[in-house]
Amino acid sequence: MALSRDQIAMRVAQEFKDGDYVNLGIGIPTLAASFVPEGISVMLQSENGLLGMGPYPHEDELDADMINAGKETVTAITGASIFNSAESFAMIRGGHVDFTVLGAFEVDVSGNIASWMIPGKLVKGMGGAMDLVAGAKNIIVTMTHTDKHGNPKLLRECTLPLTGVNCITRIITDLAVLEVVDGAFLLKERAPGVTVEDIQAKTGGKLVVSENVTEMRV
């Protein structure tokens, strides 16, 4: 059965190692912060200039000068640092952030990602997404395996304008965990109750099935 948003986030959080600096996009990626495994600490980077982002504030902690990259009110953890936007993206672009987790409209077998623009719809901008996919050491894309019409979002070649090229290494969907290897999606894990054939049918680009496909632990 397809995973819930929380379950996808739970699987994402299993990627983190103790001591990782992580930038989480809006949506499912942000949920991953709630499922960091026992004994593991990660520090959250918010690209508007905060390293060590904490939970949302209580009513009495609200501060207009303390927001995250989604413009939401936040707190800082003990030991956080705050800096300007150039410094923040120096961290990102310079490869100092260990993980970036973000959503996408499409990814393809070349590791390209399209996540910011649907022609014909109003374009609001890429924000920090292009910098993040160009800079982070490891990028994880989280999304549903297909769109709401059932069309594959893992493609041979992205059809939408790109956010970045040749940058995606790992994709975690509601059906599977895949890596981008040698011009194909390498299937590593499948959601409980989902068959390899289901995944094959819902994947647009070339799929290579790993010798040992395991079940996602969620």
Tell the residue number behind the tokens 């993206």, with chain if given: 89
Which residues, in sequence order, are bridge partners of residue 25?
none
Does the annotation mark 157 as catalytic?
no
Question: If binding is defined by CB under 8 A, does position 75 make contact with another protein?
Answer: yes
3-state secondary structure of 30: helix
**Nearest CB to another protein, comparing residues 169 and 210:** 169
Residues 108-127 binding another protein (CB under 8 A) are 112, 117, 122-127
* In the complex, minimum distance from the CB of residue 100 to another protein, in angstroms, rounded to a whole number: 12
Count how many residues are written for the chain. 218
**Nearest CB to another protein, comparing residues 137 and 214:** 137
Question: If binding is defined by CB under 8 A, does position 71 make contact with another protein?
Answer: yes
Q: Which residue of 25, 29, 128, 204 would you call a contact of another protein, by CB under 8 A?
A: 128
* In the complex, minimum distance from the CB of residue 28 to another protein, in angstroms, rounded to a whole number: 16
Q: What is 129-170 written as a DSSP string?
A: HHHHHHH-SEEEEEE-SB-TTS-BSEESS--SPPSBSS---E
Which residues, in sequence order, are bridge partners of residue 20?
42
Binding pattern for the stretch 22-61 against another protein, x by CB under 8 A and - elsewhere: -----------xx-xxxxxxxxxxxxxxxxx-xxxxxx--
Which residues, in sequence order, are bridge partners of residue 142?
172
Q: Choosing from 15, 38, 47, 179, which is the catalytic residue?
A: 47
Q: Which residues carry out catalysis?
A: 47
